[in-house]
A and B are shown apart, each in its own frame.
Chain A
């Protein structure tokens, strides 16, 4: 498996686009900065939704207000993160693709996207009940703490990609 990925990395790092990104010194720092700015959009939006789910902010207003206001920003930021992340991977494929922290990060991202998507669909179907009736309250808390935890894990993995030894 790793051999196949390794030969893919060999091919990718010799493509013209990868060579250009590697050779122009400011591209990687700039793309990483855009990547982090997209992370700030995620963190602000996730915090706003999760604090609403926990009842810390916006008591008395419906949960659907917070989801309609903030979830589209999470998806938009994820598109930017995917594009900038793909650019960084194209430049230094071995740093990411042969790195277990990168793989863990990808698993966590798929997980959090699935949970967020399922939550968004559920709220749009049953907007009034979520977070307001007692039977939903523990679910809302679990969701908030779970997604916050996963996002913190993703951010830690993102920074640690640069520190672990890759093959």
Chain B
């Protein structure tokens, strides 16, 4: 069923246009979006690791940065979907692509766990320079998973031509 869906998808006019002409433009937008996602998340993660911005509240940094993270993520998903359409069957079978998706899923799960545990009591430690161990672990994992996403994303360009 996926195969027939994928074949229909890559035969659409839009996917054909991506494959022959649109790819570099969409890919450039995709790189811009993903660097915005990871760049803004890194600012939050470094604060959670208690390495930077110690004088600023964690909630202040989050509310300044996360709107950019989420809008850029939505655009990265949209542009990523457009790139995917050009060769869906090749991408799903590609190891770096699978690892990139796994990295993103792990980043998502890590974020959810953090939100429902340590971040629930953020009011208790918001203004303090030091952050709880759980927040530090979540931030370190977030940096690890997002780095995986970037490395695997770049790697796709060497396995799918």
Q: Which residues of A contact B (CB under 8 A)?
A: 29-30, 32-33, 36-37, 39-45, 47-48, 51, 57-58, 69, 152, 155-156, 158-160, 163
**A52 to chain B: closest CB distance in Å?**
9
Q: Give the contact stretch, choosing among B8-16, B28-36, B115-123, B127-135.
A: B28-36
Task: Find chain A residues with CB under 8 A from B34 CB.
Answer: 40
CB contacts under 8 Å to A, within B12-46, are 24, 27-28, 31-32, 34-36, 38-43
A-B contact pairs, 17 of them (CB 8 A): A29-B154, A33-B151, A37-B38, A44-B36, A44-B38, A44-B39, A44-B41, A44-B42, A44-B43, A44-B65, A45-B39, A47-B39, A47-B40, A48-B64, A69-B53, A152-B32, A155-B35
In order of increasing CB-CB distance, the 6 nearest A-B pairs are: A44-B39, A43-B39, A57-B64, A40-B38, A40-B39, A159-B28
Determine the residue in chain B with the shortest Cβ distance to A77: B39
Q: Which residues of B contact A (CB under 8 A)?
A: 24, 27-28, 31-32, 34-36, 38-43, 52-53, 64-65, 68, 147, 150-151, 154-155, 158
Task: Find chain B residues with CB under 8 A from A29 CB.
Answer: 151, 154-155, 158
Q: A36 contacts B150, CB within 8 Å? A: yes
Q: B24 contacts A43, CB within 8 Å? A: no
Q: B147 contacts A160, CB within 8 Å? A: no
Task: Find chain B residues with CB under 8 A from A41 CB.
Answer: 39, 42
**B140 to chain A: closest CB distance in Å?**
15
A159 with B35: in contact, given A29-B155, A29-B158, A33-B151 (CB under 8 Å)?
A: no
Alpha-carbon separation in the docked complex, A32 to B153 (Å): 11
Task: Find chain B residues with CB under 8 A from A36 CB.
Answer: 31, 35, 150, 154
**A85 to chain B: closest CB distance in Å?**
14
Q: A155 contacts B38, CB within 8 Å? A: no
**B127 to chain A: closest CB distance in Å?**
15
Alpha-carbon separation in the docked complex, A155 to B154 (Å): 14
Q: A159 contacts B64, CB within 8 Å? A: no
A159 with B24: in contact, given A29-B158, A33-B151, A45-B39 (CB under 8 Å)?
A: yes
